[in-house]
Copies of this chain bind each other. A is one copy, B any other.
C-alpha cells in the first residue's frame, strides 16, 4: 500500500478526529475508498477506538432509490437503526471517493429529493458527532479533475499531508486580523468590493474537530460579511448542479446582488439568485490558505481552500461567524464562487494591505507596494 494512505489515515484520526481509547467510531467507506478504509481501520484499532464500518456505495444507494421509486416512496424520516447508531457514535469518519461521479444520475429527482428530505434527522445526528469528511483519490475523481491518476494522487496528498499545526498558527493570525477589523477591501483589475465585517467572528478552519472544522483537507479562514458594495469577478470556474459557471460577475449594493453576468451558466446563476430572499445576498467571505492545493479541480472540498484565492458565497451564513443571538443571512442555498488573488490583487482590512498578489504580509515575497 502507498505509504501516503497510512499518513492520510494518521492525520485523519490524530489531527482531525482526535480519537481517544474507547471512542465509538463509525467509518463510512465509499466504493473506491477501500484502501483508505483499511488504513483508517488499522489506525482506529491502534488508538483503541471501537470500529463500525458502514458501506457508502453510490451504486447501492442508486439501486435502493430506484427500488423505492418503483415500489414505495414513503420514506421513514426517523430510521431507528441509523439514528440509534449515530446517537451512540463519538466520531464519524466519512471516506469519500467513488468509482463514478455520475453513479446516481438516473434516480428520478423527486425520489432523490424525498429521500434527502427524509434524512434531515439522520444528517443532524451525524453533525452532532465529531465528524470529519475526507476523500480517497480515485480514478473517477482524477477524471473529474481532468488529471491522470498519478498526478491526482499527488494533488490530494499534497493537500492533505500538511504541517497542520503550523498552518493553523498562520491562519490564526488572519483570524485575529479579521476579528479585530471592521471592513475588507478586495481589489483586482476586475474587482473592487468593500465588505463590512464589524462584530463578526472569523472561523479558523484547521481540519480539526478541536476547532470545529470538519473537512480534511481544510485551510481557509472564513467569516460572514454584514454588508457589501462594489463589483467582483469570479474568474475561477465552478460547477453547480451539473452546470459550469464561468467568469461570474456581480454588482453588489447594500449586500444584494443587483446585477449579474457570466460567460457560461448565466441562466442557472439567475435561478440560483432567485431561490429565495437570501439567495442574492452574501453569506460568506472565505480566504484560501492551503498552499498544497495548486489548482482548481472543480471539487469545492479542495477548491475553496486553495491558497491565493478567495471565495464569496451567496446564501446562508454560518452561525459561528455571527454575534450571539444575531441572525445572519438566511437561505436554502450556500453557493461558493471563487476568485484568483495570485496576481494584480490586494486584500486590505481597515485600509491596511494584508495580502498582495497572493502573499500575506507575514510571508516572504510580500512587498509594501503593489507590483501589479
Contact = CB atoms under 8 A, between A and B. Distances in A.
A291 interface: no
A85 B83 CA distance: 8
A55 B29 contact: yes
Q: Is the interface of A mostly helix, strand, loop or mixed?
A: helix
Interface in A80-104: 80-89
A63 B53 CA distance: 12
A326 B75 CA distance: 46
A171 interface: no
B52 A67 contact: no
A268 interface: no
B24 A81 contact: yes
Contacts of A53: 54-57, 60
Contacts of A61: 41
Interface stretch (A32-40, A147-155, A225-233, A271-279): A32-40
A46 B71 contact: yes
A26 B55 CA distance: 11
Interface string A12-45: 0000000001101011010100100111011111
Contact of A59 (B26, B34, B51, B56): B34
Contacts of A89: 81
Contacts of A21: 72, 74
Contacts of A105: none
Interface in A214-241: none
Contact of A70 (B46, B76, B81): B46
A58 to B, nearest CB: 10
A47 interface: yes
A87 B84 CA distance: 9
A26 B26 CA distance: 15
Nearest to A79: B50
A64 interface: yes
A11 interface: no
A265 interface: no
A104 to B, nearest CB: 12
A140 to B, nearest CB: 15
A48 B60 contact: no
B57 A34 contact: yes
Given A71-B47, A72-B47, A52 B88 contact: no
19 contacts: A24-B80, A29-B55, A37-B57, A38-B57, A41-B63, A45-B64, A45-B70, A45-B72, A47-B67, A48-B71, A48-B72, A50-B81, A50-B82, A53-B54, A53-B60, A54-B55, A81-B89, A84-B85, A84-B87
Interface of A: 21-22, 24, 26-27, 29, 31, 34, 37-39, 41-48, 50-57, 59-61, 63-72, 74-76, 79-89
Given A34-B60, A46-B70, A46-B72, 20 more contacts: A34-B59, A37-B55, A38-B59, A41-B64, A41-B67, A42-B63, A42-B66, A42-B67, A44-B67, A45-B67, A45-B68, A46-B67, A50-B81, A50-B82, A51-B60, A52-B79, A53-B57, A54-B55, A81-B85, A84-B84
